[in-house]
Amino acid sequence: QFDVLVVGGGPAGGSAAVYAARKGIRTGILTDRVGGQVLDTNAIENFISVKQTEGPKLAGNLHEHVEDYNVDVMNQVQATNIERKDNHIEVELENGAVLQSKTAILSTGARWRQIGVPGEKEFKNKGVAYCPHCDGPLFEGKHVAVIGGGNSGVEAAIDLAGIVKHVTVLEFASESKADSVLQDRLYSLPNVTFITNAQTTEITGDDTVTGLTYKDRITEENRHIELEGVFVQIGLVPNTEWLDDSIEHTKTGEIVVDKKGATSVPGIFAAGDCTDSAYKQIIISMGQGATAALGAFDYLIRNTTP
C-alpha cells in the first residue's frame, strides 16, 4: 500500500511525486506517458530560471528527477477508476489491477480541443499553436489568426495584438460570446479584424503555415487569408471523463480543489490542468503538484496511523 499514489505524470504529477518522496513516505506514480503535454511542445521559454528548453528535454529532466527518489514509477499505465473505501483509496487500472493507497493525487492534465480540419495536425508547432502565453512571442511582427471568438479566443487575440502585426479572429457563430468588457477592449485595437459566421475549413502551408481558408456561412463563399500562425482557441478539455460524480467538478469537468489541493473526497487531492486552476501552465502545474503533495502529507499525519 502506498502513502501517496500520483495519477498522471506530467509537470504536476512529477512535482507531486518528488515532493511526496522527499517526505520519506511510500510514493508511487502511474501515468500513460511521463511528461504529459510537455512532450508535444517545442520551445519552452517561460519556465522561469531556464531561459530556453524543448518539451522532450524538460520531460526527460522531469523523469530523471522523479527517478532520483524512491518513487515507484509505473509508465504506460492508465487509471480507469478511483474510489474511497473505508480508510484507503483504491485506483483501478486498465489491465484490471487495483492499487491501494492512503492518499491519491490526481494530475491527469488536459488536452486542447482540436478543430479537426486538414492542416491542423500537419502544422502543429509549425505555425499551429494552442497557447498564446507560450507561443505568442514566436509570432512577433507576423499575421496570425485566432480560431474561436469566445472568452479564451478574445483574450488570446488581445494578448497577441500587442506582439504580432495583425490578428484575425474567426468566430463560427453570428456573434461573439465573450464578456462585453473583453469585446470592447478587442474592438478598440487597431490591428484586429473580427469575422463572424466563419467556418475554418483548412490550414495551408509548405514547411510552415502560410494561410487559412474559411467558409462564409452566410454566402457559402470560400475565402483565403495569408498568414503565418493560427491559434486554436475552442476550449481545453480536462482528462477527467473516467472519474465519477463523487469528486466535485465544474460543468466543464475540472476538478474543484481548495488551497491545499484537496478535492471533495477526503484523501484525494488534485493538481495541474485537470483542476479548476485559473491558468494552465507548466510552472503553475508544478506549483500545484507541490501543494497537493504537501496537502496529502498534512492529511496523512492528521488522519492515519503509520
User: What residues make contact with ligand FAD under the rule CB under 6 A?
Assistant: 7-13, 30-33, 36-38, 40-41, 44, 46, 78-79, 107-110, 112, 130-131, 134, 239, 242, 272-273, 280-283, 285
Backbone angles phi, psi at 155, to 5 degrees: -60, -45
Q: CB nearer to ligand FAD: give 138 or 212.
A: 138
Q: From the CB of 288, what's the least distance to ligand FAD, in Å? A: 7
Which residue, 84 or 126, is less far from ligand FAD as judged by CB? 126
Question: What is the grid cell recorded at 273?
Answer: 490542468
Residue 134 is classified by DSSP as H
Q: Which residues contact 162 (CB under 8 A, 6 or more apart)?
A: none
> CA–CA separation, 72 vs 301, rounded Å?
21
Closest contact distance (angstroms) between CB of 100 and ligand FAD is: 16
Question: Residue 80 or 303: which CB sits closer to ligand FAD?
Answer: 80
Burial of 46 per CB tally in 10 Å (0-12, 13-18, 19+): middle
Helix (H, G, I), strand (E, B) or coil at 158: helix
User: Cβ of residue 99: shortest distance to ligand FAD, in angstroms?
Assistant: 11
Q: How far is the CB of 197 from ligand FAD (least distance, A)?
A: 28
Closer Cβ to ligand FAD, 137 or 213, answer by number: 137
Query: d(Cα 9, Cα 15) in Å, to the nearest integer?
Result: 9
Q: Which residues, other chains included, contact 85 with Cβ-Cβ below 8 Å and sequence gap of 6+? A: none
Task: Give the integer Cα–Cα distance in Å for 259 and 257.
Answer: 7
Rounded distance, CA 39 to CA 7, Å? 17
Closest distance to ligand FAD from the beta carbon of 220 (Å)? 33
Measured from the CB atom, the residue of 40 and 202 that comes closer to ligand FAD is 40
Q: Quote the least distance from Cβ 154 to ligand FAD, whole Å.
A: 20
Q: Which is nearer to ligand FAD, 108 or 200 (CB)?
A: 108
Q: How far is the CB of 173 from ligand FAD (least distance, A)?
A: 25
| Residue whose entry in the numeric block shows the C-alpha cell 515532493 | 19
Could you tell me which residues come within 8 angstroms of residue 158 by beta carbon, excluding any fewer than 6 positions away?
A: 182, 185, 186, 189
293 neighbors 4 (Cβ within 8 angstroms): yes
User: What is 239-260 written as a DSSP string?
Assistant: S-TTS-TTS-B-TTSPBP--TT
Complex with ligand FAD: residue 156 or 192, whichever CB lies closer? 156
Q: How near is the Cβ of 292 to ligand FAD at its closest, in Å?
A: 11
Residue 239 CB, shortest distance to ligand FAD, in Å, is 4
Which uninterrupted H or E stretch holds 294?
helix 282-303
Torsion of CA 238, 89, 101, 251, to 10 degrees: 10
Q: Which residue number places its CB atom closest to ligand FAD? A: 109
Q: Which is nearer to ligand FAD, 132 or 211 (CB)?
A: 132
Cβ closest to ligand FAD, residue 13 vs residue 211: 13
